[in-house]
């Protein structure tokens, strides 16, 4: 899957937040979403590279991947 073709249903801005806040906010936001919807999480904490796939594995949500650009990360998660 090419991530630039992914159209998120919701975008969550976690820039300037340190671990574990991006995962904490992702967990809360995804509860509001419908199954199958995609969340884009924007962050600048490099911990998201390992934390987001691990969180998805633990919770059963689908980790679609991550794009790093200009020191910012965009992680994509599909709600189970």
The domain that holds 50 is classified in CATH as: 3.30.110.40
Count of domains for the chain: 1
pLDDT for 1: 65
pLDDT bracket for residue 65 (50, 70, 90)? very high
pLDDT at 74: 96
pLDDT value of position 4: 77
Residue 52 has pLDDT above 70, yes or no: yes
**How far is the C-alpha of 76 from the C-alpha of 73, rounded, in Å?**
10
For the question of residue 14 being annotated catalytic, the response is: no
- pLDDT in the model for residue 37: 98
Catalytic residue among 6, 17, 19, 67: 19
How confident is the model over 36-56, as a mean pLDDT? Answer: 97
What range does the domain containing 56 cover? 3-78
Handedness of CA 56, 57, 62, 64 (dihedral sign): positive
Give this prediction's pTM: 0.94
């Amino acid at each position: 899957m090419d991530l630039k073709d992914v159209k998120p249903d919701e975008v969550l801005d976690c820039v300037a937040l340190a671990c574990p806040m991006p995962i904490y906010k992702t967990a809360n936001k995804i509860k509001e979403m419908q199954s199958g919807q995609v969340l884009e999480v924007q962050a600048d904490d490099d911990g998201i590279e390992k934390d987001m796939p691990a969180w998805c594995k633990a919770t059963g949500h689908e980790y679609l991947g991550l794009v790093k650009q200009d020191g910012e990360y965009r992680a994509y998660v599909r709600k189970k």
